[in-house]
Amino acid sequence: MESDHARRPDTVWPPDVRGRVKKMNILALIIAIIAVILLFTGGFVSSLQFLLWIGIVLAVIAIIVWLVRFISGRGSRV
């Protein structure tokens, strides 16, 4: 047998308030999921932006090395 205390959470709120509470919980869950996605996306974008700059610097260094070898005539001839 269930006591009144066990059934109390269902009877405390009228039906329309219970529906609003469930909608608020779903809304809070959706907002939390979006926040986590944006948190990870922001971290990935900032790290990708850093890696992009590293790639640009390495490409410029590679072009300079290639130009120096080409101008000095020490390029490999196949």
Block residue for tokens 């059934």: 7
Give dist(CA 68, CA 77) in Å, integer. 15
Rounded to whole angstroms, the maximal C-alpha distance in the chain is 95
Alpha helices in the chain (DSSP H): 4-12, 15-72
Query: Where along the chain do its domains lie?
Result: 14-72
Q: Tens of pLDDT along 18-60?
A: 566 677 788 888 888 988 888 888 888 888 888 889 999 999 9
User: Which DSSP state fits 74?
Assistant: -
The model's confidence at residue 63, banded by pLDDT at 50, 70 and 90, is very high
Rounded Cα distance between 23 and 21, Å, is 5
pLDDT at 9 over 70: no
pLDDT of res. 52 = 87
Q: Are 69 and 75 in contact (CB under 8 A)?
A: yes
